[in-house]
Structure 1
């Protein structure tokens, strides 16, 4: 269920732990739905966050935000409709905290952390399926809708379990993969696994580091093959910055997993707008992207592929052990 990189940062956090912090809590009262949903055909269950923006009638919206009755719809009905197959499912209201997704502390009530859930066996997804989100709020309010296309599987090129990665200290390393037309933007994360043993202690501790190698990679033109490059020395710099140099520690790199996460057009627009005003010519008012009718938020699809059990090439392994960048880490 969990993802990596920017797509797991802004979007995953929005889905499982947050509300729309850009809503003005002191504005005139309106019934504004806030919706976040990320569909992945590989997930065992699909979750959608549905909340509302509000104004407390007594004027203290910040106190009201701590009250679940003010934050959540009481009688909402949430459905997903597969426009490709015609199948429809009604989602069940669950407490995200009980599902392993607690809400971060902040301006909004932490418990309960309501989400709407459907198991994948009750609503199976396939790449290319067009899915419609439907929210009925009651009180004769308009139905809230949003559409997305389920992303197909990403296919790494030239890499498979057990492959060697060559992080040359003076050259780029290139990654290639193929993805369906609907996938528009990608993150690459390398999960690095190593064992550590301290002198005088027989116990071996295992650790994993997540290195966000490349973010926001966009496809070039209409090509189905996407290419990302990173300077090889960055691998060793990341390890140097992430692991404490200890003369009493010996370490062994046990393997690496390459995680490629892709997002569709809605994700691309969401990120582009979020980054639009970060330069010296940016305006004071940051625009907000939403593809939710009658409200705010994002309903979209993501896809994730993992290539496990990667190893370093002989040259890279030797550089890890002997270079001035990482020799003090005592990899054996």
Structure 2
């Protein structure tokens, strides 16, 4: 009988918000399962440690019982490495996180091991170790150097004033960046912020995340110069597709935007390729892992590093007008509080 474990994986590295479920299989009903991504942008890091399980009857029903996945482990620690030397040691504290989304597996309790490391990128290698079922389990993460943006300017969706009757002259959101050492995959996304005002007088700040590109670098030494263009028409069309008209919304105040770039280390890239079945990786590699047991066996899951940088900018006045009045987004009730726009366009004010 094959045993079953659940891993949560998301390339956005938002550990508490992973939606994708990956089934991994093993003949051993008590293998350690590790999931952890150390990101240099964070000062608090979480590593989830569970185990495979096997039960009689319906495995999905069995999986809803917390004891089926959590197991007693001891001596959970992280060691910062410089070559073969240990430079610092951090002890993991078990904490309960917010419940996961409803699904086949239990949603709470949701335990993980917490490590507080304010300057993660001070060292580039970290070794996780813990005792499980009489054996020591280890995994090692590489922290890529931080990539860098080049001249992120004010976000310009259009380059002319569409409120004067002119046809829009669409611009490009241009993101230039330099790759960094030990980074294999580069994930680019854009966050659009706005505030919704409701008919009952309440309001809520919102964020809309657009995944833009995934670039696997052939040069993990870094130094490559990469450019990504998001056309203004495409940007407005995405807003129209992702934000739906709502009769409870009176207006939506246009906010700013943030471009986010994450550099992923090589083991995590390989793991993602293997578990997703993409990139020419065979199905036999579905259980790819860098989790090792001192008895010569392997565990399951992945423990690796990433580095994220962000740049926040305002939209140009022409762009704010386009978001409010363009053919694509005019029905979404966008508005502004910028006096430089309202002086000539009073209808752009929020109700």
The TM-score bracket by the shorter chain reads: 0.7 to 0.9
CA RMSD of aligned residues (A): 3.3
Task: Measure how far apart 1:80 and its partner are.
Answer: 0.9
Match of 2:207 in 1: 209
Q: Distance in 1 between matches of 2:103 and 2:327?
A: 44
Which sections of structure 1, spanning at least 5 residues, go unmatched? none
Q: Distance in 1 between matches of 2:42 and 2:186?
A: 18
Q: Secondary structure at the match of 1:87?
A: strand
Match of 2:107 in 1: 110
Q: Distance in 1 between matches of 2:78 and 2:183?
A: 21
Q: Distance in 1 between matches of 2:197 and 2:332?
A: 12
Equivalent position to 2:11, from 3, 6, 9 = 6
Q: Distance in 2 between matches of 1:246 and 1:285?
A: 47
Match of 2:300 in 1: 296
Q: Distance in 2 between matches of 1:18 and 1:6?
A: 10
Task: Measure how far apart 1:171 and its partner are.
Answer: 5.7
Give the conservation status (yes or no) of the 8 Å contact 1:182–1:264. Answer: yes
Task: Measure how far apart 1:311 and its partner are.
Answer: 2.0
Task: Measure how far apart 1:71 and its partner are.
Answer: 1.8
- Which whole-Å deviations, capped at 9, do the CAs of 1:208-241 have from their partners, x for residues lacking one? 2323241322336453433322233121012212
Task: Provide closer, same or farther for how the CA distance between residues 287 and 257 of structure 1 changes in structure 2, counting only shifts above 3 A.
Answer: same
Task: Provide closer, same or farther for how the CA distance between residues 69 and 273 of structure 1 changes in structure 2, counting only shifts above 3 A.
Answer: closer
Q: Distance in 2 between matches of 1:69 and 1:227?
A: 48
Q: Secondary structure at the match of 2:267?
A: helix
1:34-53 aligned at under 5 Å gives the runs 34-53=33-52
Q: Is structure 2 residue 264 aligned with structure 1 residue 263?
A: yes
Q: Is structure 2 residue 254 aligned with structure 1 residue 253?
A: yes
Q: Distance in 2 between matches of 1:255 and 1:210?
A: 11
Q: Distance in 1 between matches of 2:106 and 2:11?
A: 25
Give the conservation status (yes or no) of the 8 Å contact 2:43–2:120. Answer: no
Q: Distance in 1 between matches of 2:73 and 2:273?
A: 35
Q: Distance in 1 between matches of 2:106 and 2:252?
A: 44
Task: Measure how far apart 1:170 and its partner are.
Answer: 4.9
Task: Provide closer, same or farther for how the CA distance between residues 172 and 271 of structure 1 changes in structure 2, counting only shifts above 3 A.
Answer: farther
Give the conservation status (yes or no) of the 8 Å contact 1:211–1:238. Answer: no
Give the conservation status (yes or no) of the 8 Å contact 2:274–2:282. Answer: no
- Which whole-Å deviations, capped at 9, do the CAs of 1:164-194 have from their partners, x for residues lacking one? 1122465643201234211222222222222
Give the conservation status (yes or no) of the 8 Å contact 1:134–1:144. Answer: yes
Report the TM-score when normalising by structure 1.
Answer: 0.77
Report the TM-score when normalising by structure 2.
Answer: 0.73
Q: Distance in 2 between matches of 1:94 and 1:245?
A: 40
Match of 2:182 in 1: 182
Q: Distance in 2 between matches of 1:224 and 1:49?
A: 34
> Which segment is superposed worse, 188-197 or 35-44?
188-197
- Which whole-Å deviations, capped at 9, do the CAs of 1:49-93 have from their partners, x for residues lacking one? 11111223x566555434433322214332211112521222122
Q: Distance in 1 between matches of 2:113 and 2:146?
A: 25
Q: Distance in 2 between matches of 1:60 and 1:319?
A: 54
Q: Is structure 2 residue 44 aligned with structure 1 residue 22?
A: no
Match of 1:90 in 2: 91
- Which whole-Å deviations, capped at 9, do the CAs of 1:131-188 have from their partners, x for residues lacking one? 111121143x3x22111222333322102xxx41122465643201234211222222
Task: Provide closer, same or farther for how the CA distance between residues 326 and 65 of structure 1 changes in structure 2, counting only shifts above 3 A.
Answer: closer
Which sections of structure 2, spanning at least 5 residues, go unmatched? 1-9, 159-168, 293-297, 335-347
Flag as ranges the 4+ runs of structure 1 deviating above 6 A. Answer: 281-286
Task: Measure how far apart 1:313 and its partner are.
Answer: 2.6
Task: Measure how far apart 1:119 and its partner are.
Answer: 1.9
Task: Measure how far apart 1:120 and its partner are.
Answer: 2.2
Equivalent position to 2:120, from 125, 134, 146 = 125
Task: Provide closer, same or farther for how the CA distance between residues 19 and 317 of structure 1 changes in structure 2, counting only shifts above 3 A.
Answer: closer
Task: Provide closer, same or farther for how the CA distance between residues 23 and 318 of structure 1 changes in structure 2, counting only shifts above 3 A.
Answer: same
- Which whole-Å deviations, capped at 9, do the CAs of 1:79-132 have from their partners, x for residues lacking one? 211112521222122222xxxx213333433332221112225xx522542111
Match of 1:149 in 2: 142
Task: Measure how far apart 1:296 and its partner are.
Answer: 1.1
